Each structure stands twice: as C-alpha cells, then as structure tokens.
Structure 1
Amino acid sequence: MKRSFKRISAIFIIAAILPAASCKKDYTDPSTVRDDLALSSPQAVTGIAVGLQKKYATNRAGTYYNLVAANGFTTFELRLLNVGNLPENQLNTGGGSVDGTNTILLNVWSASNKIVFDANNVISYAQKLTDKGYASGLLAYTSIFKALSIGTMSMFWPEVPEGIGQNVGFIDRKEGFKQAIALLDEAIAAVNANAISPAFLTNIPAGIDIPNTLLALKARYALYIGDYTQALATADKVDLTKKSVFNFDPVFLNPIFETATSTNNVFQPLDSTLGLPVGIQPDLSDKRVPFYTTLNTTIAPRYRINGFGAANLAPIPIYLPGEMLLIKAECYARQHDVDNGLKTLNLVVTKQASADIFGVGAGLPEITGPINENDLLVQIYRNRCIELFMSGLKLEDMRRFDRPLTERKRNLFPYPFAERDNNPNTPKDPDF
C-alpha cells in the first residue's frame, strides 16, 4: 500500500510541537511538550523522523528547494525571472551582493540545523530500543537526513557547526563531510547487524531505499574529501537497479514544481547549455538536455524546467545511477587509471534512457582514446554537470575540479546574520 506524508499526518502533530528552529541552536522551549513526552514511543519518534523528510524535501522553506536555488543561480544553471525576488536576485548577481540577510541561505542553514537537532534525539532513542530491527530502521532512516544536512552545510560554508547548542564551535567543512561519513558508517553497521523490520517500513513514506541510500551518500562524501579508494569501493556496492526517491502527494508537493515550474515567476533553466561554458557545453544530440529542459515557443522564457521538476507529484531522486558511475570514473581517473576511468565514463555517455531507471540517458557515441588524465577529468566534470543538472551539487564540483572563478558567482557563502548575531563563534565570511 502506498504510504505518504498525508497517511501519517497525525504523527506530524507530534513533530510539529517540538521546539522551533533557532540559529542559537538552543532548541529548548518551556512552552512546548517536554522531550520525555514527545519521545515517548516508537510510533511518536517515527513521526519525528518522518518530519525530517518533510523538513528536508518539501516546501519553499525546506532544504532541497533552497539548495537547488542557491547552487543554480551561483553556477549559471538558472535564469532569474523576477528581480523582485530579492534573495534569488542576490544570488543571481553574486559576489558581494550576497550577504547575511539572504533568506535562501538562512533556510538552508536553519533547516539543516533543526534536522540535526531532531535527528540527534531520534538516534539517541533508537539506540535504546529493544526491537533491534525497528531500531536499525529508525536510526538508518534518520541518519540519511542528518548526513544530508551536514553535507549540505559543508558544501555551502567554509566551516560548519561541530554540534548543536548555544555558542557552538565550528569545524572545517571537510571535517563536516567526515562527520557525515562516520554517521553513515554507523547506520550501515546497524542495518547489517539487524535487518530493518517491515513494521518500521510501513510507518514511513514509501520511496527511499535505505540501504542503498546510505551507501550512495557515503560514496558522495568520500569523493568530496578525496578518499578515492573508499568512494570507489562504496559506489560499487550501490544497486543501480533500485530507485531511492522523495515522493510527494497533493498535500506535500514537489517543491521545485510548486515554487518555480508552476509559477514561471522565480527561475527556469538558463538554456540548452545548462550553464556550461564554450568547449564543454552539451552535445546537440545529448538526450539529457530535453530530459531536463523543455521548450515553450509562445511565452518567455523559451527554456523551461522538465525532468524531476515537471509535475506536482514528480518524485525527486536522492541520487542517480549516473552519479555513482561518475564517482567511479572520477576515482579511477584521480588514481591515474585512465583506461578504467574512460571505460566507466562511457557507461554514462552511451547510456540510453531506456537503460536507466529514471530515464536519464545521453545516448551519445562513446569517447574514444587516446585521452590523458586531465582531459578525462574535464569530460567527467562536463558529464556530472549534465547528468546531475539542478541537483544542487555543481558548486562543490566546480571547486573540486578547480574550474575558473569566472564560471561561478561565489565560491562559498556568507553566514546568516541570524547565526552571527547569536553566536560569537561564527567564523569570518569568505571573501568570495
């Protein structure tokens, strides 16, 4: 039976009455239900865990929409349609125009920290459960959103909170990725030790393949810290025939469609270049361009959102099979194994849409050698930008591949004033 957010909306009431987010990271509030009451049963705690998915994946204030918007404007993926949308206009202008008042960045920051706070409570509860199958599901599902939140902050800011609490300290963003990996490792070990119980799976929204998602995120963040051995080995374990998605329903809509696609008043794709510069723009016959964009020949702008933002109930993948293949290709290349790197890259380049579980396929002829390591890395970067268009991952890739600063409007983001005003440990803003 299909499970959705609406099916467990009664449980959301419990999640909703938990303390509201605060950039002080002190989430206690005497006017709300005490933690010992809110965390009173597996069902109640599961409701809090499901609330993490809602906080991350749905509505304009959630993490995902703001991640895609901030990344997209900064990396030339997106076209701004209305300069009256001030936060978007700041990011679209870039440079010093982006400051601590930007509410898109504030939404990413506050949602991420609130998810980490709630996840800590859920994980602590799960570790005490006697039903180990239910506990492993609860811990692993919750760890996905905590890891995504830490990872998102680590992609956007030079330093990230080392934990939760008033006047919390900060750690380098690379250490943030390592925190996410350690968390995922614990969750993977829990699931390996005790299979997730069917009882738990019936109490969360359908769509997320928990074991494969844990592996995929670990591979992603291991790549980001340059641990190519671990990234390659982990990506190789992900079952590319299995989908893992955020599902939506008539109450909780796809946030890209709800805010941008349906209104045509916030952003649309830049054009068929997908924001890539001359020399690495998509091939004219690359079928991923019409997958991610569609044309409107009567009303501007000409290029419109397609793909995973095309409909109000369109599921959004947490990762794509192509991402795992491209992680493997990059790991080979960076370990100087050009032959296997090219071979693996060609699995993405030649992939037909019919062979991909999400229908993402370039359908191009294979890239033939000889090719040197640097040129191979350029082609891997190019294909990451196309295959993972509007996924929120491009800015991190631009830094890792040492792309020219002229190809992006900022390198890292300033901290929200709401954090700086309440935490004396907030680091200095990056210059660009």
Structure 2
Amino acid sequence: MKSLRNNTSKYLTCVALSCILFSSSCTKEYQDPARAKTDVALTTQQGLTAVAIGLQRVYTLTRTGVMFNSIAANGFVTNELALLNAGNIPELQLSTGGSSVDGTNTILFNLWTSANKIVYDADLVITNANNLGDKGYASGLIAYSSIFKALAIGNMSQYWEKIPDGTGKNVGFITRAAGFAKAISVLDNALSVVAANPISAGFATNVPTDINIVNTLHALKARYALFSGNYPLALSEANAVDLTKSSFFKFDATSPNILFTIISSNNVFQPLNANLGLTGANVPDAGDKRIPFYTVLVGSPATLRMNGFAAATASPFPIYLPGEMTLIKAEAYARQPDLTNSLIELNKVVTKTSDLFGVAAALPALIGPYTQQQLLDLIYKHRSIELYASGLKIEDMRRFNQPLTDRKRNFFPYPFQERDNNPNTPADPTF
C-alpha cells in the first residue's frame, strides 16, 4: 500500500504550483496572486492529482482538519470524551456545553473552514477533470474528490442547522436536510461517471490505495440516505458495499495519526469512562469485546486511555466500518418496519467475533420478539458502541430522539469569522 506522502512526492512540481489551494482561509474565496500558475496546474493530470491527494491531507493530517475536530466536537457534547486540561479553552467550552459554546470556538472554526476548503478544492478537481482527454483517469479524479466533498458537506450538515450552498462570496445557506441531499447528489454523480468510464489503472496507482473508491461512494450514500430518512435507499446502498473490503485513511511515522498524537500527550481528552459515556439501558453488556478495543488502562496507577483507532502512530482510521453498514441495514429494516430482518442484521453485529478492523462485540445473540421501539433502542445502543468516537453520535442522538439532557449541544453556533464576512450567515441556535 502506498502512503499519502509517497504518492504526493510524485507530484512535487505540481504541488508547488498548486500549494495555495491547500492553505486555510477565513473566507470562501481562497484566491491568491499566484492564480495564473494554479490555473495551469489544473489543466494537467498531474496537477489535478496533486490537488486531489491534498484533499485527504486537509481532511485527516492536522489538528485543524475535519477528522480531528469532528471527533472532538462530537465527543465532548455527547459525553464520549472527558476533558483533561481546562486550559484547553475550545475543548472546555464544548465540554461545558450550552451557551459556553460560541462563535469564538476554534474547534468549530477549524471544522467549518477545513470542510469549506475541501468543497472548494474538490470542485476545482471535479470541474477541470471533465476537460481531460483520458476519461478513465478523469473518472478516478472525480470519484476520489467526490468522497471528500461529500464527507465535508455531510460533516457540516451533522453539526449545523444550515450550511453554505457553495463557496462563493456572500454565499447563501441551505438547510441541513438539503445538505445531506447535496452530498448524495455528489456521490450519485461520481457513481454515474465511474459507471460510464471505469477508473483507469493509471489513476489507481497514483493515489493512496487504502481507499476503496466505489465501496466508499456507496457507503457514504447509505449513511447520508439514512440521515435523510430515505430508508429504502439507505438499505440498497448498504447492500451495495462489499464488507470483505476495507476503506481507510493510512498513517505512518511521517504522516502520523492525529488522534494518537493528541491521545499520547494525555493533555487534551480521553474516554469519559469504560462505558464510553453511556448510561442506563445503553451501558455495554458485560463481556462486550468492543470495550477493550476502544479503551485501555495504562500506567500506574492505571488510567483509562483511548485505544482502537488512536492506539498508535500508524493506526488506520476507517472511513466507514463494516458494522456501520450492517447497522444501517438493521435500522432501515426496523423503520419500514421489517422487524424480522432488522433483528437478523442487528445480531450480525452483536455476535460478530471479528471484522476487518478488529471491532467485534462477540456477544450472545439477541432473542426476540421485540417491538419496533425496542429494536430501535437496541440499534442506537449498538451504534453508540460500534461507532465510538467516529463523529456520528450527535446525529444518532437526534434521529433516535434521545433526551436533550443527554447532550450538551444540539447544534453549533456559526464561527464569528463566517458571520463577519458573510451577511447571509443564519442566526445561531439557542442550544
């Protein structure tokens, strides 16, 4: 497998020309006097490949990226994470919740800015790739970039009531429901492009091989269809994902896992407790093997640390878990309702003894019959455990009608930088 660093190194000249595209900004213009040079880079396969690879770097590799800030923001307000140092003011705001979280919060600003940056750069790749003569290579560029564009739109739609409808000056806003629909349309376009012109081998050798592009397009479409309440579509897309193939972000010593970097400092956050912050009927069952996967006791006296996908410098981070796809099927069946098939799918997760990433409960099968509500309650419980620290829990808490008192925010305020630069910025939510 190729690392992100090794693939990018093939395009050093093009990266130099397009480096301005990777820089952060408080606006959605992202312009620079070097625009003429970047325009030239965007006419070549090599230049477009460099920009496409850069999307993954913006998403994953720094503390300002979408991955870290999504996990942190979600984890604090849903009680997955405990703050270790009150001197970390952005984390303290989120850990406190309520009105303590405001537009000054840099975790939310970084999440917002990085997501919008990804949308902007992905649009450059998608638009310019259509002009390439090699349609198989163009197909790969469009599909790969569409993964990050959809993730960026989806993340914003999970955390804010409204999101920008594009990246222009004074851009308007759309509802989060329209945001999920937009993410699905991005994925639909990518799947149509790939169907018309299969991704070329030449493209596949020039990007990180750890992302299974077509599987990931289907998996994200299933996720956002579920969040949209389109259960037949969520079911069909989850069924289209080959669960024998993994899709993940790869890290190494030169491009370390940012979660491990944060966790190993033991100065920012760790799991709230060995129950992953769950209470009441949602407390994990005794013997649930996912608990020692996600948490570990370290030191003397022993303290609880995050394990799993934050365990080491090179720990991979899955774009989706096989268990997520199975739980999407279980929920889609339950809501239609088809309680028999819902329980069958739920038990695949409950009784699983291994998967591609080592996430396995290895518990006895659940024995029904269950009512629809009982099944939905169980699905929520097992999503909370299976998908711990994935950044998805706040969306689940809303969808499963969990009490507002169980979370510290329902939606986030808009960054002041956005409000200062865009008169169309909506009013902040009260909670």
Class of the TM-score when normalised by the shorter of the 2 chains: over 0.9
SS state of the match for residue 5, structure 1?
helix
- Over 3 Å counting, the alpha-carbon distance change for 1:7 and 1:370 in structure 2 is closer
Residue identity matched to 1:314 = S
Distance 2:430 2:141 in 1: 41
SS state of the match for residue 199, structure 1?
helix
- Larger mean CA deviation between 28-37 and 207-216 belongs to 28-37
| Cα deviations by residue, 1:152-177 (Å, 9 ceiling, x for unpaired) | 00001000001111100000000000
Residue identity matched to 1:316 = F
Given that 1:18 and 1:32 are in contact with CA atoms closer than 8 Å, whether structure 2 keeps it comes out as: no
The corresponding residue for 1:43 is: 46
- Over 3 Å counting, the alpha-carbon distance change for 1:335 and 1:263 in structure 2 is same
Query: What's the CA shift for 1:250?
Result: 1.9
The corresponding residue for 2:5 is: 5
Residue identity matched to 1:273 = N
Given that 2:216 and 2:319 are in contact with CA atoms closer than 8 Å, whether structure 1 keeps it comes out as: yes
- Over 3 Å counting, the alpha-carbon distance change for 1:189 and 1:266 in structure 2 is same
Query: What's the CA shift for 1:21?
Result: 3.4
The corresponding residue for 1:280 is: 282
The corresponding residue for 2:380 is: 381
Given that 2:20 and 2:32 are in contact with CA atoms closer than 8 Å, whether structure 1 keeps it comes out as: no
Distance 1:409 1:46 in 2: 41
| Cα deviations by residue, 1:37-88 (Å, 9 ceiling, x for unpaired) | 2313101110000000000011111110000000000100001000001100
Structure 1 residues 16-415: aligned runs within 5 Å: 16-18=19-21, 20-258=23-261, 260-299=262-301, 302-353=303-354, 356-415=355-414
Query: What's the CA shift for 1:274?
Result: 0.6
Given that 2:75 and 2:391 are in contact with CA atoms closer than 8 Å, whether structure 1 keeps it comes out as: yes
Structure 1 length-normalised TM:
0.97
Given that 1:381 and 1:397 are in contact with CA atoms closer than 8 Å, whether structure 2 keeps it comes out as: yes
| Cα deviations by residue, 1:154-204 (Å, 9 ceiling, x for unpaired) | 001000001111100000000000000001001011111211111111111
Distance 2:132 2:277 in 1: 49
Q: Which runs of 5+ in 1 are unaligned?
A: none
SS state of the match for residue 17, structure 1?
helix
Distance 2:149 2:202 in 1: 22
Given that 1:6 and 1:249 are in contact with CA atoms closer than 8 Å, whether structure 2 keeps it comes out as: no
Residue identity matched to 1:149 = A
Given that 2:140 and 2:199 are in contact with CA atoms closer than 8 Å, whether structure 1 keeps it comes out as: yes
- Over 3 Å counting, the alpha-carbon distance change for 1:74 and 1:239 in structure 2 is same
| Cα deviations by residue, 1:66-117 (Å, 9 ceiling, x for unpaired) | 0000000010000100000110010000000000000000000000001111
Query: What's the CA shift for 1:16?
Result: 1.9
Distance 1:110 1:297 in 2: 37
Distance 2:4 2:172 in 1: 37
- Over 3 Å counting, the alpha-carbon distance change for 1:14 and 1:5 in structure 2 is farther
SS state of the match for residue 21, structure 1?
coil
Distance 2:112 2:283 in 1: 32
Query: What's the CA shift for 1:297?
Result: 5.0
Q: Please tell me the root mean square deviation across aligned C-alpha atoms, in Å.
A: 1.3
- Over 3 Å counting, the alpha-carbon distance change for 1:92 and 1:231 in structure 2 is same
Residue identity matched to 2:269 = F
Distance 1:256 1:390 in 2: 10
Residue identity matched to 1:324 = M
Given that 1:243 and 1:357 are in contact with CA atoms closer than 8 Å, whether structure 2 keeps it comes out as: yes
Structure 2 length-normalised TM:
0.97
Residue identity matched to 1:319 = Y
Identity rate of aligned residues, in percent? 57
| Cα deviations by residue, 1:283-316 (Å, 9 ceiling, x for unpaired) | 121000000000125146x211110110001110
| Cα deviations by residue, 1:240-297 (Å, 9 ceiling, x for unpaired) | 0001000112221101001x22101111011111111112110121000000000125
Distance 1:169 1:363 in 2: 48
Q: Which runs of 4+ in 1 moved over 6 A?
A: none
Given that 1:4 and 1:249 are in contact with CA atoms closer than 8 Å, whether structure 2 keeps it comes out as: no
Given that 1:272 and 1:293 are in contact with CA atoms closer than 8 Å, whether structure 2 keeps it comes out as: yes
Equivalenced residues, count: 428
Q: Which runs of 5+ in 2 are unaligned?
A: none
Given that 1:15 and 1:51 are in contact with CA atoms closer than 8 Å, whether structure 2 keeps it comes out as: no
